[in-house]
Structure 1
Amino acid sequence: MAHDASSSPAADLSRPSDALHRRGLMFILSSPSGAGKTTIARRLLAEVPDIAMSVSATTRPMRPGEVDGKDYHFVSQDEFDRMVEANEFYEWAHVFGKSYGTPKAHIRTQLKAGQDVLFDIDWQGTQQLYQKAQADVVRVFILPPSLAELNRRLVGRGTDSAEVIAARMARAQAEISHWDGYDYVVVNDDVETCFAKVQQILEAERMRRTRQTGLIDFVRELTRS
């Protein structure tokens, strides 16, 4: 935020540094199923200011209770295909006969306003986002403390058959192999500790000099003779 030249130096210096305008970031959380990314994501949204969940576009029908523009941007297949052709997505994919994608326009507006955008996506979506918006992307991968613990958590849910759990475990090992495509890797042995570490990563990334767009005017005032 460019500060008013008529304000006193003492008042300017007393302002916290995070009062300066900054560009938002695209904060990606990935993990194998059961490793905890959804729990961490929900806590970030509930407890940390200035971060919102990415809203994807989809061709699947709206379900009861869903709100267009909040849960998803619901579009026709023709409109989705047009958006693909016009390069309006950061990333997109066809899943079980339906299409899903991350629209660029709204996210760019959020980032410019200093709003962070949270993504709960897999490593393939992460790669696509990083290729399109590298400077704005922060990638965090959450690991389970062990495969035995991951299996215990999946069984403990009580929602999947043994066959589904076995498939999830096989997929988890494949997903874990992509850990080195992330900026940060956090082991979720304890959810409170894991959440604290993820929050620290977010706060540190918010303070990167290149994202502190208000610094130029602020420092110019400090150094004006």
Structure 2
Amino acid sequence: MKIIEIHGLNRHFQSGDERFHALKEIDLEVEKGECVILRGVSGSGKTTLLSIVAGLDHPSSGEILVEGERLAKLPDRHLSRFRGRHIGMIFQHYNLMEHLSARDNVAVPLIPQGLKMPELKEKVDRAMEAANIAHKAEMSAGRLSGGEKQRVAIARALAADPEIILCDEPTANLDRANARRFLEILAKLHAMGKTILIATHDPIFEELPFEARVVEMENGTIVAGSKSGSR
């Protein structure tokens, strides 16, 4: 079952008389439960593509469907609700509120759902256990190490139990030991049946403990595809 379908997608940005083509005629289909690594140097279009999959940006032309929804056609309010329920995002710089506790950071995306407190707490606790960060639940985010902040960010992405997890350069600010711990958590998410898209140029993803599809990007285009990791 295809969970993401992208056809003839283009994204350009206009600055005065100059037009920059960030993405050019992208065709990509992702199966439910698949892990896809978007690999390329900075400026290759990986992050722009992830942003469009997340509904944070819109294509200039072409089509994108996520779980059968044409994201570019959704009103902002419906798009935000769809993203909150179906897509979890893990960013390079974590995007945590450092004055809040780890637990409260994980809870923030759930607040618009209007959950009763016991249900909200259950979802937060489950996500923090999955990300191996429950033992730091009451500590303020500003006091956590880089690896711990990343695990809080992972828990936040998991809190709503989304089908799709998007990771933008998730190991860029981690040392090798914490990067390998991140791969272990990815393996858990893969075993849970999550669909995972990772934008990266970090070669550590060649060490994934499960098979993933590598999509090479260059100058806003897809130039090749291969397999990485092991079964």
* TM-score bin (small chain): 0.3 to 0.5
> With CA pairs under 8 Å and 6+ residues apart, which has the higher RCO, 1 or 2?
1
Q: Normalising by structure 1, what TM-score?
A: 0.37
Q: Normalising by structure 2, what TM-score?
A: 0.37
Would you tell me which structure has more strand in proportion to its own residues?
A: 2
